[in-house]
Amino acid sequence: MVTKKIVFSGVQPTGNLHLGNYLGALKNFVLLQKKMECIYCVVDLHAITIFQKPDILHENVLETTASFLATGLNPDKSIIFNQSSVSGHAELAWILNCVSRIGWLNRMTQFKDKAGSDKEKASVGLYIYPNLMAADILLYKATHVPVGADQKQHLELSRDIAQKFNKDFNCNNFFPLPEPLILKNISRIMSLRDGTKKMSKSEESDYSRINLKDTADEINKKIKKAKSDSDSIPGEIKLLENKPEALNLLSIYSELTKNSLEKIITEMAGKEYSFLKAKLTEALIDEITPVGKEIKKLLKDKSHLKKILKKGTEKANILAEENIKNIREKIGLI
Ligand code: AMP
Ligand code: TRP
């Protein structure tokens, strides 16, 4: 059986998008859009698994949409919409809650990280978040899912859920098993303050990340302050094993300049990190500030952004409704 290739991915509207989102996910979304049918979703229902102030959530949905467009996603090529406006996501999530197993969810490390020390106080939504993510993907029978490395475990769960559904309802290959598309070298961009933690929207210090909306001046200050190493740049990657901050800066530079890490390290061997930082700042300003400016420009016309979401919702709904009809039939729902 030939399965049509369909790409699906989601980004939570929970604040400023940063360099990790951009290099780990968004840039890949844009490349895939040239080759396959793509569906990109602002996952607002995932965002509310942790309390969001309503007016801020509303703004963040529009800002994430603007970020999609500013990085190069084209609403005439890809379907761009917000999750809550297609009711099939919530409906399929309920069905998959009944397929997924408690034991499977108990292994999810993101829940453990996000729930913190008092798990009893976490929302039920946060616990079953991965089932909703599986629903997002399976609702469109997506075959490929571009994400950062932090989502690998959730993708594996989506595959387990798809497999169990196919087996329980005796419908081999009904749901394709979705493949993660995780970029090798930059699947996890680390915090500029602590190279053992991923760069994230939720880390308190803004100096830990480069936001897509940062100005040239902010980028300059953040890279100047970023942790690196007191030794000079070594000539071999393996000498960076215990220097995560230095490795992170070199990897980001290698990605932005499209040169291999080996090449960068050979060229910079023996130089101080201040040399790398100056070059990196320049590369970041070249690549990120035009995106930030475009986001700010797009945010001036909110009705245009809402129109794009509405158009995407209409297209997504057609696909979702057809699949939901078939899924209900498989289960025996009338
Ligand atoms: P989120 O903002 O958590 O919804 O993430 C959106 C996308 O960005 C997902 O595919 C994540 O895996 C990816 N992502 C988030 N943080 C990073 C990071 N520090 N490095 C690489 N990819 C990331
Ligand atoms: N959980 C993902 C994240 O935090 C966002 C997400 C929700 C997603 N649904 C998805 C990613 C479906 C890929 C496919 O980054």
Q: Catalytic: 310? A: no
Residue 2: predicted pLDDT: 61
- How many beta carbons lie within 10 A of that of residue 125, not counting itself? 14
Q: Catalytic: 114? A: yes
Please, which residues have CB within 8 angstroms of residue 91's CB and are 6 or more apart in sequence?
324
Task: Specify which residues 79 forms β-bridges with.
Answer: 39
List strands edge to edge, sheet with 144-146.
79-82, 37-42, 6-11, 144-146, 179-181
Q: Which of the four pLDDT bands, split at 50, 70 and 90, describes residue 308? A: very high
Question: What average pLDDT does this structure show over 163-185?
Answer: 96
User: Does 125 have pLDDT greater than 80?
Assistant: yes
The ligand whose atoms approach the alpha carbon of 195 most closely is 1
Please, which residues have CB within 8 angstroms of residue 275's CB and are 6 or more apart in sequence?
233, 268
Q: Is 0.75 surpassed by the pTM of this model? A: yes
Q: What percent of the chain has pLDDT over 70?
A: 99
Domains of the chain: 6-187+302-331 (3.40.50.620), 206-297 (1.10.240.10)
Please, which residues have CB within 8 angstroms of residue 278's CB and are 6 or more apart in sequence?
none
Q: Catalytic: 198? A: yes
Q: Which residue's CA lies nearest to atom 12 of ligand 1?
A: 148
* Rounded Cα gap, residues 219 and 209, in angstroms: 9
The ligand whose atoms approach the alpha carbon of 150 most closely is 1
From ligand 2's centre to the CA of 10, what distance in Å? 4
Residue 185: predicted pLDDT: 80
Which tokens sit at 33?
Answer: 């859009």
CA atoms within 13 A on the CB side of 120: 0
* Rounded Cα gap, residues 265 and 175, in angstroms: 44
Residue at 29: amino acid letter = F
Query: Residue 150: CB within 6 Å of ligand 1?
Result: yes
Q: pLDDT tens across 51-76, in order?
A: 999 999 999 999 999 999 999 999 99
